[in-house]
Structure 1
Amino acid sequence: MTTVYFVRHAHSTYTPNEFKRPLSEKGEADAKKVTHVLRFENIDVVLSSPYLRAIQTVEGLAHLIGSKVEIEEGFKERKLTEKSAEDFNEAIMKVWEDETFFWEGGESNLVAQQRGVEATLQVLERYKGKNIVIGTHGNIMVLIMNYFDSKYHFDFWKKLDMPDIYKLSFEDDLLINVERLWGK
């Protein structure tokens, strides 16, 4: 059995630079709670999206287990558009309604999902039998989960907390169980 803990990043302070957006004060406090929630899960490795907010959400846990956060590009958030969307809710709903649709300069659900699933399958193979924490983002996390079970979709994404933690148990690359460890 291999266990993946997907950790959606904590609240961040908005900046136009997606890669360097830091956690807010609330996000920093919640990141400490993430470490507290996962401290007895016998974590072997901590991976993260290259985005600062995802790294900061899981780096306390990496320090606790005496390791560093390994960066995995495949877990970065999906790119919705090249420019800021005029109406984010409309823009995100449109890509979920049609998995092949994409906004100019953005990724379709299908393309983003393929990227995230490829990264997940590589992690499952590389760390078979281990407990793996992955700091990531809400949209890409749900797209990955949707690949393994279609009940994870747009409505599920809308209910996520920031941060949020989902424990996924796999036998090889077959999803066996999903358990929420954070949230309401």
Structure 2
Amino acid sequence: MAGAALILVRHGRPAIDPATPSTTWPLCPEGREGCTKLAERVAAYAPTAVISSPEPKALQTARIIGDRVGLAVETDAGLHEHKRQQLSFGSEQAFRERIAAVFDKPSEPVGGVETAHAAAERLAATLARHEGAPLVAVTHGTILSVYLGEKLNCDAHDLWRSLHMPDAFVLDADGRLIERIS
């Protein structure tokens, strides 16, 4: 479809294992199925490149999309999630409360070494290093929400709460939202 420059994707649903770091979680069967459906919709935009965070859940999401559109996937560590290594997953409710603190204080390194603003800047710099239009970039929920919150002038925490796994945002060359695919 004409006009798309960037398709920013949040990875599919992972197989959550509280005993292991979230950075090692693969997709669950439901997550793979959701990514297959998303890939069909993304294919309509005829992407020319696919990049991904190196985390298994993101890389598997990107490979499902890449396979559908006939493109190899390039990994880039700049697409990894907001650095908050001191915030463990814990219960779903506890996790949501800890993430709320990240959005409430975007200029402070809540739970880690990186501010939410710095994460969004890292994502922007990573995207700028890659060519292709539309470019598919598979990343994670918090960094995607902070980046899009700033770009689309919307509340990043509200956006995060509304995210699906997977979810995709199609933007034009000026950074305007064309379509949300969820």
| TM-score scaled by length of structure 1 | 0.85
The AA in structure 1 aligned to 2:49 is V
- Which residue is equivalent to 2:46? 42
Runs of 4+, deviation exceeding 6 Å: none
- 2:34 corresponds to which letter in structure 1? D
- Looking at structure 1, the residues matched to 154 and 180 of structure 2 have their Cα atoms a distance apart, in angstroms, of 18
In structure 2, the gaps of 5 or more residues are none
Instruction: Measure how far apart 1:108 and its partner are.
Output: 1.5
One of 3, 8, 11 as aligned partner of 1:9: 11
* C-alpha RMSD of matched pairs (Å): 2.0
- How many residues of Structure 1 are paired with residues of Structure 2 in the alignment? 175
Q: What's 2:84 paired with?
A: 80
What does the per-residue CA deviation read over 1:122-180, in whole Å, with 9 as the maximum and x for residues that have no partner?
A: 23xx33xx21111111111112212323214111111111111110111xxx32x2033
Provide the residue aligned with 1:157 in structure 2.
160
Please tell me whether the aligned partners of residues 34 and 58 of structure 1 are also in contact (alpha carbons under 8 angstroms): no
Residue of structure 1 equivalent to 2:134? 131
In the alignment, residue 113 of structure 1 is paired with which amino acid?
A
Are the equivalent residues in 2 in contact too, given 1:81–1:107 (CA < 8 A)?
no
1:119 aligns with 2:126: yes
**Corresponding residue for 1:108?**
115
Matches of 1:2 and 1:106, distance apart in 2 = 34
Amino acid at match of 2:129: Q
Instruction: Determine helix, strand or coil for the equivalent of 1:42.
Output: coil
* Cα separation, 2, equivalents of 1:97 and 1:64: 38
Aligned mates of 1:80, 1:33 — CA distance in 2: 31
Q: Tell me the SS of whatever aligns to 1:99.
A: coil
Distance in 2, matches of 1:36 and 1:57, equals 13
Amino acid in structure 2 at the alignment position of 1:10: G
Amino acid in structure 2 at the alignment position of 1:91: R
Letter in 2 for 1:11: R
Q: Distance in 2 between matches of 1:22 and 1:93?
A: 25
Q: Relative to structure 2, which stretch is displaced further, 95-104 or 3-12?
A: 95-104
For 1:104 and 1:165, locate their aligned partners in 2 and report how far apart those are by CA, in whole Å. Answer: 26
**Aligned twin of 1:63:** 67
Separation (CA, whole Å) in 2 of partners of 1:85 and 1:55: 20
Tell me which residue corresponds to 1:178.
177
Structure 2 counterpart SS, 1:77: coil
Shift of 1:2: 5.7
Residues in 1 aligned to 2:156 and 2:54: alpha-carbon distance in whole angstroms: 24
Q: Secondary structure at the match of 2:138?
A: strand
Percent same amino acid among aligned pairs?
23
- Output one character per residue of 1:22-75: Cα deviation in whole Å (capped at 9) or x when no partner: 000100111111211122211101111111101111212212333311111111
